[in-house]
Amino acid sequence: MNAYFERIVTALSRITPATLLARGAVFILTTAALVMAIPSFLFGPRPILAAAVLALVVALAPGSRIVTVVLALAAVGWGATWLGRLAEISPLQLVAFGSLLYLAHSAATLAALIPYDAVVTPEVFVRWYVRAIAIVAASAVISLALLVGVWALAGFNGAAIASLLGLAAAVALVAVGVKLVRARA
Amino acid sequence: MGVRGAGGARRPLPLHGTGLTLALRPAVPRTPPPAPPEETAAQDWQPTRALGRALLLIGLLLVAAALFGRVDLVVLAVPFAVSVAWGLSRRPTAVPGLRLATSEEYATEGSSLTTTLTMANRDVVAYDIAIARTQHSAWLDLTAEGSGAKPDRPVVAALDRNEAAAVVLAGPAKRWGRHSIGPAAAVAAACGGLLACRAVVTGSLGFKVFPVTDPFAAEDAMPRAAGLVGQHRSRRQGEGGELAGVRVFGPGDRLRRIDWRTTLRTQQLHVARTLSDRDADVVLVLDLLAEAGTSGGTGGASSVMDITVRASAAIAEHYLTVGDRISMIEYGSSARRLRPASGRRQYMTALEWLLDVSSRQVVRTPGESRMSEAISPNALVVVMTPLLDARSADMVAGLARAGRSVVTVDTLPPGLVPTVTGPWTSSALGIWQLERANTIGQLREHGVPVVAWAGAGSLDLVLRDVARMAGRAQGARR
């Protein structure tokens, strides 16, 4: 038992500031995404605390499947929040939530790659987050163009267009997935 | 001095300061390197969990958007889709190059070693993150130049295409022995962390760290000089430089030996008598049955093995410098032997032989007869022993009984205390010290001097006694 505690103490003493920075970013971004996804009828201190706890778990285990579960939970929460009130969503709020969800995913990816005791050059963080922000910016432009297009065609509540878009993208996704699985095999 | 390295990539060696590159002629006709098959590249780079998560979230959001007719869920999927599309648009094909290189092959305790760990991106795609890690022997006190970080931590860097990053590891070797740096390993992730390559591992670099020899000198005569040439004043008269007396000229005396001063004074021809100069055999017996004490490297505490190795190296250096023959014998598990020889080459061989010295508890040890048979009767036997095992004292006494000239160097570090203490520790320690003193006294009674190692002049006093004893008549053994 003492040896086990000694190993833990040794591991804790070897943690570098770069690791804390990477995991701190995961915690903040995941908390923000989860708080935005809390349905309005549940909003309060306890759900916010629960969101922070979930974000802490993600920050502690960024390489695990918990990240997928938590981010999926955030998406489900978002869907439940605006169920039946689609017309009330502001485009900026939607793009901001999508960006936060992606940034939380990207930050978890980086934190999972960096060993907890690594010496990291600042260039790694700069390049990574510049890339992530560029993707977010490009996505925001695409999203706004998509929303404007949908508005112009059928109003914001364009259910039919969404279904068509979703189906087309899902088929493309399945094709990409099959290709990847074949390559791996 | 050449450059040694361990790594996957072979490239021309740049000659520093000349601007030239050393190109070696290939042994076989040059053929263009075959392009890596696509399957190999696919095996080198595997999807990460982040790619699976991105695809899963895109799928969930799009299916939900299709089912519930919600365009906002499509918008949520857009950043993930853009990142996957952008990331996988250009895939990496080559694994990172990794190389460990050094210019030194051997060093002495306390001197500095330098190694360079180089990680290179030979791909057409930038690596978002490249992680390299290496390991080294505990007795190499290496730090990264610039940052001062220890190399036991992974180094993470971002590498653009055709870019390389190098970490220079430098520091002193703190203890003698065979040490190594490496193996080193590297992994890389590209495409925004969606693909990661398999680990690239290099071989390790070995270093010989020779012991620092305490300054040692022994001025006294060898007990039995053996050969016909050398620097030791023997007890036999003959051609030499050491004056032994003056006697009346006799038939066969050389004219150049005439001592003219005495001849003129006495009005009768006298010649100077000299002692012949001869070389000697020195056999170092290293008792490796027990290790005690803590090794602190250079400048720190010394263990039994440290004292044994450093003292042996110092004695060997001294006697080889004056032209004697040195051989070494292990008294322990492996019973290795170094053949007797003289000269500078033998000194380097002896130092290398000493690097493999290690203590190991054994049940069976070489017999007394085998040990004494392997040692020339005229040799000076220097036994390095901590006298912690009763078999060591028996071995020394056996050599003395066999008529060898034996000197025992006590290699037990001073001030040694037990690490585990109890109510009876001090009493037990006192009894053990008395028993050990008794053993040393018995050895002295057998004519075996025991002296603690203290560097220069350690053996002078005892060598005089041994030489005196070697000159007396020896009784036949029954």
Rounded to 5°, angle at Cα B367 from B365 and B372: 125
With bands split at pLDDT 50, 70 and 90, how would you rate the model's confidence at B405?
confident
With bands split at pLDDT 50, 70 and 90, how would you rate the model's confidence at B188?
very high
Determine whether the interchain pair B82/A139 forms a contact, defined as Cβ–Cβ distance below 8 Å.
yes
pLDDT of residue A107: 96
Three-class SS state of B202: coil
With bands split at pLDDT 50, 70 and 90, how would you rate the model's confidence at B21?
very low
From the candidates B156, B167, B191, which should be mutated to test the interface with A, based on the most A CB atoms within 10 A?
Answer: B156
Treating both helix axes as pointing N-terminal to C-terminal, what angle do B49-68 and B71-89 enclose, rounded to 10 degrees?
Answer: 150
pLDDT of residue A147: 81
Q: Is the pLDDT of residue A2 over 80?
A: no
Q: Is the pLDDT of residue B115 over 60?
A: yes
* Spatial CB neighbours of A107, under 8 Å, sequence gap ≥ 6: A22, A25, A26, A29, A30, A62, A132
The Cα of A75 is separated from the nearest Cα of chain B by a number of Å equal to 8
From the candidates A110, A114, A116, A139, which should be mutated to test the interface with B, based on the most B CB atoms within 10 A?
Answer: A139
Closest CA to B317 of B272, B280, B348: B348
Q: Is the pLDDT of residue B22 over 60?
A: no
Cβ atoms of A131 and B36 within 8 Å: the answer is no
pLDDT of residue B57: 92
Q: What is the mean pLDDT of residues B152-157?
A: 87
C-alpha dihedral, A111 to A114 to A118 to A124, nearest 10°: -90
What class, spelled out in words, does domain B281-471 have in CATH?
alpha beta
CATH 2.120.10.30 for domain B97-210? no
Rounded to whole angstroms, how far apart are CA atoms B347 and B472? Answer: 33
**Tokens of residue B145, six digits:** 């130049």
Q: Does B193 touch chain A (CB under 8 A)?
A: yes
Give the distance, in angstroms, between the CA of residue A60 and the centroid of all CA atoms in the same chain: 15
Three-class SS state of B44: helix
Cβ atoms of B101 and B180 within 8 Å: the answer is no
Q: Does B167 touch chain A (CB under 8 A)?
A: no
The DSSP H or E segment spanning B160 is: none
pLDDT of residue B478: 33
With bands split at pLDDT 50, 70 and 90, how would you rate the model's confidence at B368?
low
The DSSP H or E segment spanning B340 is: strand B337-341
pLDDT tens digits, A44-100 = 889 999 999 999 999 999 989 999 999 999 999 988 888 777 677 788 889 999 999
Terminal alpha carbon distance of chain B: 59
Name the residue in chain A with its Cα closest to that of B46: A184
Chain B hits for A82, CB-CB cut-off 8 Å, are 72
Q: Tell the residue number behind the tokens 């290293």, with chain if given.
A: B286
With bands split at pLDDT 50, 70 and 90, how would you rate the model's confidence at B12?
very low
Q: Is the pLDDT of residue B474 over 50?
A: no
**Domain residues of chain A, as ranges?**
2-154, 159-185
Cβ atoms of B130 and B118 within 8 Å: the answer is no
**Domain residues of chain B, as ranges?**
97-210, 235-278, 281-471
Contacts 24+ apart (CB under 8 A), A67-70: A67/A105, A67/A108, A67/A112, A67/B53, A68/B52, A68/B53, A68/B56, A68/B57, A70/A30, A70/A34
